[in-house]
Chain A
Amino acid sequence: MKRRKTFAVLVSLLLVVALFGTVLTGCSSKTANNNGGSAQKTESKPILIGGVAPVTGPAATYGKSTKQGYEMALEEWNAKGGVLGRKVKLVFEDDKADPTEAANAFSKLINDNHVVAIVGSVTSSCSLAGAPIAQRAGVPMITPTSTNPKVTQVGDYIFRACFIDPFQGTVAAKFVFNNLKARKAGVIYDIGQDYNTGLAEFFKKEFESLGGKIVAYEGYPDGTTDFNTQLTKIIDAKPDVIYSPNYYNDDGLIAKQARTLGFTGPIVGGDGWDSPDLFKIGGDAVNNCYFTNHFSKDSKDPKVQAFVKKYTEKYGEAPDALAALGYDAMNIMLTAIQNAGSTDGAKIKDALKNIDYQGVTGHIKFDKDRNPVKSAVIIKIENGKQTYVTTINP
C-alpha cells in the first residue's frame, strides 16, 4: 500500500515537472522565434512555405498533380535566386482529403514549422477546415483548386487561384451565344447539388441577358439514371444547344439518351465533364460536345506551352488542370512575398490583394472577395478526344 502511494507521488511530481518543462520550452521557443524574425542571422535561412494537398486517400490523383505543380514553381524560383534573396523551401503535409487531417496539417505548419504562407488545400471541405486556422494566425493562404465560394469568405487572408463555380455558367452562356451562335437553349441539371444548380442558374441569367431564350429548364433528383422525360420535354422545345452542368457520369448518360431521342446539336457542360470515364459511359454520344475548364494543355499561349513541355519532361506525364492551378497558386504566393518585400503576413496579404499575374491558367487579379477574375478555356470533345477551342475572358 505504502509503496503504491510513494509511486503515485513520484508520478505526479514527474508530471508537474514535465508540465513546467513544456511551458518553459514553449515560451523560450516563442521568444527565440520573435528574436529570429528581426535578427540578421536568419536572413540567409530559407523562407518556409507550407503546402497542403491530399496525396493519399480518395482524392489522391488530384493531390499528386497539385503537389507536382507546387514543387515545379518553387524550383523555378530557387533557380532564379529565390525570393527576397533567400531560398524558398516547401514544407509539405498530406491531408488525405479529410477535413480533420487538414486542420491538423494547417496547425502543424503554422505552430511547429512557422511557415510564412500556405498554399492549399485541394478539396473545398479541407480548405474550409484549414482557412480559419490560417486566418486566426494571420498567415496568408491561397487554395489552388477549391471552388466553393465559402472558402474565401472565411477572412481577408484567404485567397484562391481558381474561379468559383457559378462563374463557369456565365462563361458557358457567353460561349454558346457568341461562338456557337445559339439563341435557344435547354438546361438539364441535378437539383440536389450546389455545383450543378449554381452553374445552371448563372448560365440562364447570362444567356437571357445576352438576348437568348431558355426554352426548357429541367431538373432531376440525385441518383437518376433515366433522363428521358426531361430530355423529351427539352427536345420538343427545339433548342439549339443543351446545357448540362453535371458530373461526368450523369453527363455521359444524358448525352447518350439525348442522342437516342434524336438531338444532334451541341451539349455543353462545366469542368465536371473532365474525366476519361465520360467517353466510357457516353461513347459516340459525347461527340460535338463542349465544356468549360480551368486550363487546356493544347492552348497556343507560349507560357502554357513552355509549362507543358517542362512539366512533361520532369514528371513523364502531361499536366492536368490541377497541376496547372497548383503551379499558378505557388507562383502567385511567391510573387506576393517578393512584392511585399517582407515575410510579414499582413504585408503579404496586402501584396496579394493588388497582384496582377499572368499564369498558365489565365490572367489573374483578385476581386474584393479575393476570388480571381480570370479567363476560362473551352474544350470540344470529338472522337474520344479533348481539343482546345478558345479562351473566354470574363
Chain B
Amino acid sequence: MGSIFNLQQIINGIQIGSIYALISIGYTLVYGIIQLINFAHGDFYMVGAYAAYFAVMFSAARKEHPNVLIVLLISMTAGAIVAFLSNRIAYRPLRYKPRLSALITAIGVSMFLEYTSSAIPAIGPSYRAFPQSALIPEHTYKIGHAILSNYQIVNVSVAVVLMVVLTYIVQYTRIGMAMRASAQDKDAARLMGIDIEYIIDFTFIIGGALAGAAGLLTGITYPRINPYMGIIPGLKAFIAAVLGGIGSVPGAMLGSYILGFSEVFGMAINSILGEGIAYAILILVLIFLPQGLLGKKTGEKV
C-alpha cells in the first residue's frame, strides 16, 4: 500500500488535476454564459500548443532564446482568435435555434479543427516533439522520497492564479456583472441595455485564451503534441467541470483536482481498472449531487 498512498502519488494527482483545471475553467465559463457545451474547447487548447510550438521554433531558427511570457501571449492570442471566430462563424447564427443544433455544431467545429490541422503540412497528423527545454529547462526538487519538478509548480500556480482572476472578473467587475446577468436571463439583460453578443464574444475570447495557455503548459510538461491531443483532455475537463458543478469556476477547479486524484489512486490500485475506478467515483458523486459539488441547485440537467 506504501506505493499507492504516498507523497509522490499526491504530487502526481495535483499535477494531473492542474492540467484538467486549466482546461475546465474555460469550459465552465462558456457554459455558464450561454449553456453551450463547447466540445471544441479541447481543440482551442491544441491550437494554443501549436502556436507556442511555432513561436519557439521560430525564435530557435533565429538563434534567439524565446521569452516565456511572449510565447504565453502568443498561445493565448491564438486560442482567443480561434474561439472568437468559432463563435462568430459557427455558434452565433444558431443562438436562438434549439440547443441541440449548437451542440452538434460544436462537435463539428471540433472535428473541423482537428482534421484541418492534420491536413496542413506544417502541422501534419503525426506527433511532434515540443521544444520543452528551449523554453523552460526542467529542475527537480526532492521532498523526502518524493520528487517535485518546476513544471508542476508552474502548472499549479498558473491554475490557481487564473481561477482567482476569473472569479474576480465574474464577481466584482461591471463586465462580470453583465456576464452573470446574461447567464440568468438573456432577454431581461438585453432590456437593461446589455449588449449580449459583445458579452458572449468576450466570454469566448477569455475561454479561448485560457485554453491556449493550457496548451502551452501541457506542451512544456508533456513534450509531445499532435492535432488530436485535445480530445481526451477536453473530455476529462468537461467531466471535471460537471463534477464540480458546471458554470462555477471554483467548482471546475475542485472537480479537476478530484478527478486527478481519483485517476491517480485508481491507477495506483490497479492500472488496468484504474480509469474505471476513477469514473465510478464520478458516477457516485453525481448520483448524490446531480448539480455537481459547487453547482447551483436549479434542477437543470446537464
User: Which of these, A219, A261, A280, contacts B129 with CB under 8 Å?
Assistant: A280
Category for how many chain B residues contact A: 20 to 34
CB of B223 within 8 A of chain A? yes
B138, A260: Cβ atoms under 8 Å?
A: yes
CA distance A225 to B132 in the complex (A): 15
B223, A226: Cβ atoms under 8 Å?
A: no
B127, A260: Cβ atoms under 8 Å?
A: no
A261, B147: Cβ atoms under 8 Å?
A: yes
A233, B4: Cβ atoms under 8 Å?
A: yes
B1-36 near A? 1/0 per residue, CB < 8 Å? 011101011001001100100000000000000000
User: Which of these, A223, A230, A252, contacts B271 with CB under 8 Å?
Assistant: A230
CB of B192 within 8 A of chain A? no
CB of A302 within 8 A of chain B? no
B275, A232: Cβ atoms under 8 Å?
A: no
CB of B232 within 8 A of chain A? yes
Q: A226-B12, A228-B15, A236-B2 are in contact. Are A260 and B222 (CB under 8 A)?
A: no
B268 cross-chain contacts in A, Cβ below 8 A: 229, 232-233
B224, A281: Cβ atoms under 8 Å?
A: yes
A256 cross-chain contacts in B, Cβ below 8 A: 223
B298 cross-chain contacts in A, Cβ below 8 A: none
CB of A221 within 8 A of chain B? yes
CA distance A277 to B133 in the complex (A): 15
B239-276 near A? 1/0 per residue, CB < 8 Å? 00000000000000000000000011001100110110
Nearest CB on A from B182, distance (A): 36
User: Which of these, B12, B127, B271, contacts A220 with CB under 8 Å?
Assistant: B271
User: Which of these, A223, A230, A253, contacts B267 with CB under 8 Å?
Assistant: A230
CB of A316 within 8 A of chain B? no
A187-224 near B? 1/0 per residue, CB < 8 Å? 00001000000000000000000000000001111010
Chain A interface secondary structure, helix, strand, loop or mixed?
Answer: helix
B129, A277: Cβ atoms under 8 Å?
A: yes
What residue of chain A has the Cβ atom nearest to residue B275's Cβ? A221
B272, A260: Cβ atoms under 8 Å?
A: no
User: Which of these, B6, B9, B223, B272, contacts A281 with CB under 8 Å?
Assistant: B223
B271, A253: Cβ atoms under 8 Å?
A: no
Number of A-B contacts (CB under 8 A): 72
A219, B272: Cβ atoms under 8 Å?
A: yes
A229, B222: Cβ atoms under 8 Å?
A: no
From B132, B138, B222, residue with most partner A Cβ within 10 Å? B222
B231 cross-chain contacts in A, Cβ below 8 A: 223
B16, A237: Cβ atoms under 8 Å?
A: no
CB of B173 within 8 A of chain A? no
Q: Which of B205-247 contact A (CB under 8 A)?
A: 218, 222-224, 229, 231-232
From A223, A233, A249, residue with most partner B Cβ within 10 Å? A233
Nearest CB on A from B155, distance (A): 11
What residue of chain A has the Cβ atom nearest to residue B142's Cβ? A262
Q: Which of B267-302 contact A (CB under 8 A)?
A: 267-268, 271-272, 274-275
CB of A283 within 8 A of chain B? yes
CA distance A219 to B275 in the complex (A): 11
User: Which of these, A228, A233, A281, contacts B127 with CB under 8 Å?
Assistant: A281
A236 cross-chain contacts in B, Cβ below 8 A: 2-3, 6, 8
B9 cross-chain contacts in A, Cβ below 8 A: 229, 232
Q: Would you list 28 pairs from A and B whose C-beta atoms are within 8 A, ordered by A residue? A: A191-B271, A223-B232, A225-B224, A226-B12, A228-B8, A228-B12, A228-B15, A228-B264, A229-B12, A229-B267, A229-B268, A229-B274, A232-B8, A232-B268, A236-B2, A236-B3, A249-B127, A252-B129, A256-B223, A260-B138, A260-B149, A261-B8, A261-B147, A277-B127, A281-B127, A281-B129, A281-B223, A283-B133
A sample of 5 more A-B contacts (CB under 8 A), given A233-B3, A252-B224, A261-B8, is: A191-B271, A232-B6, A260-B138, A260-B149, A262-B147
Q: Would you list the 10 A-B pairs with minimal beta carbon distance, nearest first?
A: A280-B129, A236-B3, A225-B222, A228-B12, A218-B271, A229-B267, A249-B127, A281-B129, A232-B8, A219-B271
